[in-house]
C-alpha cells in the first residue's frame, strides 16, 4: 500500500486539473428522476423523431470531465442521431468528489440500491419511461473512473444491461479506500481473479444471462495500469463460462483485439489493446467514419472506440436487435421499473439514509483512522473542503 504522503501528492497533482468541457453542449437535463441518493446530475440526448422502442446507451465521463465535454469528444450523441437511439449521461458533482470522479471504490456508492449506482438506476428508469425505450436494449460505457463505475453498474444491476464497455477502468470490488484505489490504479495488489469473480456474483442475485463486455485500454497508460484490463476480463470470464485464453485474436485498425466466444461462436467478451496510447478514450476523427473530437483524455489513435463498441452491441449497420436481453433469454422486460422506483416514503428514507448515515457509516469502518488522517491532511493542504 502507498504511503499517506504519496496519496496526498497524487491528490495535489490532480488539484491543478480543470473541468474539460470543450465544444457545444447538445444535452438536455433530466429532472425529477427519483430520490437520487448519490446526488448526481442527469443529462441526455434524444434524436428528433426517436422511435418508440429505441435502444439506450448510458455514458459515464472520466475525472475532470463534464457530460457535455465527454459527449463532444466521444461523439456518442452524433452516433445516436445517425443510428436512432437515446443516450443518458449521468454527471458527477463537485460536492460528491472534488475532481468530478465517480466514486467507483466507495462501498456506499457501488452497493446495489445505494448511492451513485442507485441514482443511475433511477435515471435509466426515468428516461426509459419518458421516451418509451426498449428495456431489453440498454447498454453502458465509461472512461477511467466512469469506466470503473460502469463496471459497478454492470455488477450491481446486470439484469438491466444487454452489454457494457469499460475504457481504462478497473474491476468491480477491487478497492474500498482511497489508498487502495490509488494502488489498484497503479497496478499494485488487489484481489485474485477468483475473488474478483466472487465479488461480481455477490453484487446481485442475478440468475439470468449476463451482459456482453467490451474492454479497452491504452498500452502506454501511466494513470490506470493496463493490467487492470486483464483483471476485468478475468472477473467476467467466470459468469460467462469461457476459457482463460481468448477464442481468437486479430488486428483492427492497427490495434490488437482478442475475443472470447461461447460454444456456439457468439462473442461474449472482447479486449482491445490500443498501441502506444496513454490514458483516455480512443478516437478516429478523420475520414468518412470519423467521430468525435480530440481533447484532454480523448485521443486520436486511428480507431473509434465509440463506433466499435456500438457495433459490438449490435447498434449499428441495421443490427440494432442483434444482442437484446430478451433474445438472449435474460428474463424480465420490466426490470428497470421494478428495480429503480420507490414509494414516496421509501424515497424519503433512501435520501435520508445516504445523505445522513453515509458519513457515520464511513467513520465506523476499520480503515476510518487512516481515512481521517488522509482527509485531515488534504484539508490542511487546501485539497478538500
Under a CB-based contact definition with an 8 Å cutoff, are residues 216 and 249 in contact?
Answer: no
228 phi and psi angles, rounded to 5 deg = -65, -30
User: How many CB atoms are located within 10 Å of the residue 365 CB?
Assistant: 13
Give the angle subtended at the CA of 193 by the CAs of 105 and 6, to the nearest 5°: 40
Q: 343-356 burial string, b = 16+ CB within 10 Å, else e?
A: eeeebeebbebbee
Q: How far apart are CA 222 and CA 292, in angstroms?
A: 23
Q: How far apart are CA 52 and CA 303, in angstroms?
A: 31
Under a CB-based contact definition with an 8 Å cutoff, are residues 108 and 115 in contact?
Answer: yes
Burial tier of 131 (Cβ tally within 10 Å: 0-12, 13-18, 19+): middle
Under a CB-based contact definition with an 8 Å cutoff, are residues 19 and 65 in contact?
Answer: yes
User: DSSP of 69-121, one letter per residue?
Assistant: HHHHHH-HHHHHHHHT-EEEEEE--TTT-TT----TT-GGGSSTTSHHHHHHH
Under a CB-based contact definition with an 8 Å cutoff, are residues 274 and 251 in contact?
Answer: no
Q: How many residues does this entry show for the chain?
A: 385
Can you tell me whether residue 237 is helix, strand or coil? Answer: helix
Catalytic hit among 66, 74, 119, 144: 144
Q: How far apart are CA 230 and CA 226, in angstroms?
A: 8
Beta-strand relationship, 163-167 and 212-218: parallel
User: How many CB atoms are located within 10 Å of the residue 24 CB?
Assistant: 8
Element (H or E) spanning 283, and its range? strand 281-283
Burial tier of 364 (Cβ tally within 10 Å: 0-12, 13-18, 19+): exposed
Instruction: Let me know if 204 is a catalytic residue.
Output: no
The catalytic residue positions are: 144
Amino acid at each position: 500500500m502507498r504511503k499517506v504522503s504519496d496519496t496526498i501528492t497524487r491528490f495535489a497533482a490532480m488539484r491543478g486539473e480543470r473541468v474539460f468541457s470543450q465544444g457545444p453542449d447538445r444535452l438536455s437535463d433530466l429532472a425529477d428522476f427519483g430520490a437520487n441518493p448519490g446526488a448526481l446530475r442527469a443529462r441526455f440526448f434524444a434524436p428528433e423523431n426517436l422511435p418508440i422502442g429505441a435502444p439506450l446507451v448510458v455514458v459515464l465521463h472520466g475525472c475532470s470531465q463534464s457530460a457535455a465535454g465527454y459527449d463532444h469528444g466521444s461523439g456518442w450523441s452524433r452516433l445516436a442521431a445517425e443510428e436512432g437511439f437515446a443516450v443518458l449521461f449521468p454527471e458527477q458533482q463537485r460536492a460528491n468528489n472534488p475532481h468530478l470522479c465517480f466514486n467507483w471504490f466507495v462501498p456506499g456508492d457501488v452497493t446495489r440500491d445505494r448511492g451513485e449506482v442507485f441514482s443511475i438506476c433511477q435515471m435509466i428508469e426515468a428516461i426509459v419511461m419518458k421516451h418509451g425505450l426498449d428495456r431489453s436494449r440498454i447498454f453502458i460505457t465509461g472512461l477511467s473512473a466512469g469506466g470503473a463505475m460502469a463496471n459497478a453498474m454492470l455488477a450491481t444491476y446486470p439484469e438491466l444491461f444487454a452489454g457494457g464497455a469499460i475504457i481504462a477502468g478497473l474491476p468491480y470490488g477491487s478497492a474500498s479506500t482511497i489508498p487502495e484505489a490509488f494502488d489498484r490504479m497503479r497496478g499494485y495488489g488487489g484481489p485474485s481473479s477468483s475473488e474478483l469473480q466472487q465479488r461480481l456474483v455477490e453484487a446481485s442475485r442475478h440468475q439470468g444471462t449476463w451482459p456482453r463486455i467490451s474492454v479497452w485500454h491504452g498500452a502506454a497508460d501511466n494513470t490506470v495500469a493496463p493490467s487492470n484490463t486483464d483483471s476485468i476480463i478475468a472477473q467476467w470470464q467466470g459468469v460467462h463460462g469461457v476459457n482463460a485464453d481468448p477464442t481468437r485474436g486479430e488486428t483492427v485498425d492497427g490495434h490488437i483485439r482478442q475475443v472470447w466466444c461461447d460454444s456456439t461462436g457468439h462473442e461474449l467478451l472482447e479486449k482491445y489493446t490500443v498501441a502506444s496510447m496513454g490514458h483516455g478514450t480512443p478516437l478516429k476523427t478523420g475520414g468518412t467514419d470519423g467521430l468525435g473530437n480530440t481533447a484532454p483524455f480523448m485521443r486520436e489513435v486511428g480507431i473509434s472506440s465509440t463506433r466499435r463498441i456500438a457495433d459490438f452491441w449490435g447498434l449499428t449497420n441495421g443490427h440494432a436487435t442483434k444482442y437484446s436481453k430478451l433474445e438472449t433469454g435474460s428474463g424480465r422486460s420490466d426490470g428497470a421499473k421494478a428495480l429503480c422506483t420507490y414509494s414516496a416514503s421509501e424515497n424519503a428514507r433512501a435520501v435520508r439514509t445516504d445523505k445522513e448515515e453515509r458519513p457515520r457509516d464511513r467513520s465506523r469502518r476499520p480503515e476510518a483512522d487512516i481515512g481521517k488522517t488522509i482527509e485531515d491532511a488534504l484539508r490542511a493542504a487546501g485539497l478538500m473542503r
